[in-house]
Structure 1
Amino acid sequence: MVENLSKEVVINALEQDAGKIRRLIGNQKNHLCIAQCKAFEEVVDTQMFGFSKEVDFAIRIGVISEQEGQSILLNLEQELNDLYSQTYDIQKGQEG
């Protein structure tokens, strides 16, 4: 079965899972829970850990390179950091 997996299929699956994490963060951005809920941070950390394991598995079975895997993770982490920053700025603006 692994022989039938193409790089495009794996990358598409990883991007779909990354999209779920992005949507999770984006949905909470409207509620400002990101800046106030420790439990939400734990959920995101758990999702990111699971996603990193998916990427690691794809690397270990040789479907994507380590560089490609790291790029996928770094891009998602940067997007999440940007969302956190935007939310912080919005909250700060509402307080001031």
Structure 2
Amino acid sequence: METVTPETANSLLLNEANRIRLLIKNQKNSQCISQCKAFEEVVDTQMYGLSRQVAFAIQLGIIQPEVGHQILSSLERDLNHLYTEVYEDQKITEGKEV
């Protein structure tokens, strides 16, 4: 059985975070993001799954808690930034329609 190094675990977790990030960025359709609960549920499920993977890696002692928290915080920040952009764009668009 192959030993998992902290570098490998960190790389795998970052790849998973980037996959979620890509999922979010590819969904720039503001109508879907602002009105589609299914999209929010998918993102929530993906974030929860990643958080469990991070927690497991921390419990095994493969990564430090700070590293895991940094991965999750960075992804949450990106998600919040996207939602802010979408809602700001939507406010501008709705203002033009009036």
TM over 0.5: yes
Cα separation, 1, equivalents of 2:63 and 2:55:
9
How many percent identity over aligned positions? 51
State the 1:54 CA deviation: 0.6
3-state DSSP class of the match of 1:69? helix
Corresponding letter in the other structure for 1:68: V
- Give the distance between the partners of 2:37 and 2:87, measured in 1 at CA: 14
Structure 1 partner of 2:87? 88
Count of residues in Structure 1 that have an aligned counterpart in Structure 2 = 94
Cα drift, residue 56 of structure 1: 0.5
Q: Are positions 1:49 and 2:43 aligned together?
A: no
> Could you state the TM-score of these two structures normalised by the residue count of structure 2?
0.89
CA positional deviation for 1:38? 0.8
Please, which runs of 5 or more residues in structure 2 have no aligned partner?
A: none
Unaligned runs of 5+ in 1: none
C-alpha distance in 2 between matches for 1:22 and 1:93: 25
Aligned to 2:71: 72
Contact 1:7 1:64 in 2 (8 A): yes
* Aligned residue type for 1:60: Q
Q: CA deviation at 1:28?
A: 1.0
Pairwise CA RMSD: 1.2
Q: Distance in 2 between matches of 1:92 and 1:22?
A: 24
Report the TM-score when normalising by structure 1: 0.90
CA contact (8 A) 1:7 1:63 kept: yes
Tell me the residue number matched to 2:8: 9
Quote how far apart the aligned CAs of 1:9 are.
1.0
Q: Which amino acid aligns with 2:70?
A: S
